[in-house]
Amino acid sequence: MRRSRIRHAALAILLIAGSWTAAGSLPAAADDSPTPSASPGLLQAMQRDLGLTRAQAEDRLTAERRATELEPAARRAAGNAYGGSWFDAATGELTVAVTSDAPGATVRAVRSTGAAVRTVEHSARALETTRARLDRLDAPPGVSGWHVDPAANSLVVEVVAAERADNDVRRFLDRARAAGPVAVRTVAGAPRTYAAGTVGGDPYYTGNVRCSIGFSVYGGFVTAGHCGGPGAGVSGWDRSYIGTFQGSSFPDNDYAWVSVGSGWWTVPVVLGWGTVPDQLVRGSAEAPVGASVCRSGSTTHWHCGTVLAKNETVNYSQGAVHQMTKTSVCAEPGDSGGSFISGDQAQGVTSGGWGNCSGGGETWFQPVNEILNRYGLTLHTA
């Protein structure tokens, strides 16, 4: 069924393995242009996965777009007092943390951008310094990862619940607490990547591994690094040759790009899988923490959730991966490499997580702008 659709829809052919649509941000340069109306399928996915009514989903997309546009100016206004920012779904506002020693003029400048202000103890720079110290440590398998939580104003270390009493985990937490302001949370499972063995009819393959294509770039597409190493050949859903991994990094990072040829081409589209219409990609403005985001992959297709954290270090069994974005979206094996998108703005490629789309879980993505900058690529946009 999907094959025949792709045969007759060349527009979507390259993004087979993972393209998606999510909840809303447009680049600041688009301020004067009308907001594109959200597709019925996108709104339905948000209603299903976020428990919203249609009107609530539409309002949230509008509020998230505004928050994304405000964030750069609010960050500049806070200066050295900046303690992080996030989208507050309850109020529909961007909240900016400012340290308690900030001058009144700084606080007023942040508020003048339209953002709400919260006073905190630690600056974002101090929290990032703590995170960098932990990145130099070797974490045991019972430690899932760590990230700066701006709303909690601390570095959060996540530990697999069943491993909390493990001696190696305890020793790691002792060292973590000595590095700076740290909070500990438990999670249900350990993170894993979402590559899968060969499954007939699904796109793209590297040997016997199936993954999902992320976003089109000029000359190819971006995807997850754990799906293949430099020089590895790639075949598409029909097993015809697509191209070759030109660059790949995993662990430490989890990104790669594949050159495209042999009759395949790139388009600025993410595949809707019949759940939502195929979506145009118009940019890569980064959505804030708290914003809604959707993911599409070759196994579980369309699912939505929210951005939970940024710059998280994820401790996979193969090694730590840095600067990841954590979401409440579910995923399963074969979804690796697929697209995370907010509105019509590309966010990143699926890396891994824990759980599944039956019982729920969490998933991380590697931000797309980092991949573009690393390899000097240009996102293919409409």
Q: Return d(Cα 288, Cα 349) in angstroms, integer.
A: 17
Q: Is 147 a catalytic residue?
A: no
Distance in angstroms between the alpha carbons of the first and the last residue of the chain: 27
DSSP line for 156-217: EEEEEGGGTT-HHHHHHHHHHHHHSSEEEEEESS--EE--EE--TT-S-EETTEE-----EE
Cα–Cα distances (Å) from 320 to 144, 181, 209, 380, in that order, read 10, 21, 21, 30
Q: What is the CA radius of gyration of the chain?
A: 20
Nearest 10 degrees: Cα torsion 170, 171, 177, 179? -150
Tell me, what amino acid is at 5? R
The catalytic position among 122, 147, 226, 322 is 226
Cα–Cα distances (Å) from 105 to 101, 102, 111, 240, in that order, read 11, 8, 10, 62
Q: Are 127 and 153 in contact (CB under 8 A)?
A: yes
Q: Is 335 a catalytic residue?
A: no
Q: Return d(Cα 289, Cα 79) in angstroms, integer.
A: 19
Q: Return d(Cα 86, Cα 91) in angstroms, integer.
A: 11
The catalytic position among 49, 88, 149, 254 is 254
The first and second tokens of residue 342, run together, are 């907010």
The catalytic position among 336, 339, 342, 351 is 336
Q: Is 252 a catalytic residue?
A: no
CB atoms within 10 A of CB 31: 10
Residues annotated as catalytic are 226, 254, 336
